[in-house]
Structure 1
Amino acid sequence: MGQHYSYRGVSPQVAPSVLVADSAELVGDVVVGEHTIIAGGVRVVGGSRGAIRIGARVTILENTVLRPLPGSDLVIEDDVVIGPGAILQGCHVENGSVVEAGALIDGWSRIGAESLVGTGACVKQRSVFAARSVIDGSPAEVMGRLRGPLRRPGWAPEGGDMPVRQDRDPGARADLEGDPGHR
Structure 2
Amino acid sequence: MNSGVYTRCAEDTYVHPRAVLIGNVILGHGCYIGPGASLRGDFGRIVIGDGANVQDNCIVHSFPGRDAVVETDGHIGHGAILHGCTVGRNALVGMNAVIMDGVELGAESIVGAQAFLRGETVIPPRSMVVGSPAKVIREVSEKEIAWKTRGTAEYQQLARDCLAGLTPVEPLKAVEADRPGMAASDVVSIQEARRTSS
TM-score normalised by structure 1 residue count: 0.82
CA–CA separation in structure 1 for the residues paired with 2:96 and 2:102:
19
- The offset of 1:117, in angstroms, is 0.4
- Residue 23 of structure 2 aligns with which residue? 28
Larger relative helix fraction: 2
- The offset of 1:154, in angstroms, is 4.5
Give secondary structure in 2 for the equivalent of 1:46. Answer: strand
CA–CA separation in structure 1 for the residues paired with 2:141 and 2:38:
34
Q: 1:101 to 1:7 in 2, by over 3 A?
A: farther
**Contiguous gaps of at least 5 residues in structure 1:** 1-5, 168-179
Following superposition of structure 1 onto structure 2, how do residues 166-177 of structure 1 map, counting pairs within 5 Å? Answer: 166=168
Q: Deviations over 1:81-136 (max 9, x none)?
A: 11000000000011000111000000011100000000000001111100000011
- Residue 12 of structure 1 aligns with which residue? 7
Tell me which of 105, 122, 126 is aligned to 1:132. Answer: 126
CA–CA separation in structure 2 for the residues paired with 1:84 and 1:91:
17
Q: Is the 8 A contact 2:30 2:156 kept in 1?
A: no
- Residue 91 of structure 2 aligns with which residue? 97
Which of 1 and 2 has greater Rg? Answer: 2
- Residue 174 of structure 2 aligns with which residue? none
CA–CA separation in structure 2 for the residues paired with 1:132 and 1:14:
29
The CA RMSD over aligned residues, in Å, is 2.0
Q: Is the 8 A contact 1:19 1:159 kept in 2?
A: no
- The offset of 1:157, in angstroms, is 3.0
CA–CA separation in structure 2 for the residues paired with 1:78 and 1:7:
29
Following superposition of structure 1 onto structure 2, how do residues 14-163 of structure 1 map, counting pairs within 5 Å? Answer: 14-47=9-42, 49-149=43-143, 150=145, 151-152=147-148, 154=151, 157-160=155-158, 162=162
**Contiguous gaps of at least 5 residues in structure 2:** 170-182, 184-198
Q: 1:154 to 1:23 in 2, by over 3 A?
A: same
CA–CA separation in structure 1 for the residues paired with 2:100 and 2:74:
17
TM-score normalised by structure 2 residue count: 0.76
Give secondary structure in 2 for the equivalent of 1:51. Answer: strand
- The offset of 1:146, in angstroms, is 1.2
- The offset of 1:71, in angstroms, is 3.8
CA–CA separation in structure 1 for the residues paired with 2:2 and 2:59:
17
CA–CA separation in structure 2 for the residues paired with 1:119 and 1:38:
19
Aligned length: 162
- The offset of 1:165, in angstroms, is 2.1
CA–CA separation in structure 1 for the residues paired with 2:111 and 2:58:
15
CA–CA separation in structure 2 for the residues paired with 1:121 and 1:92:
16
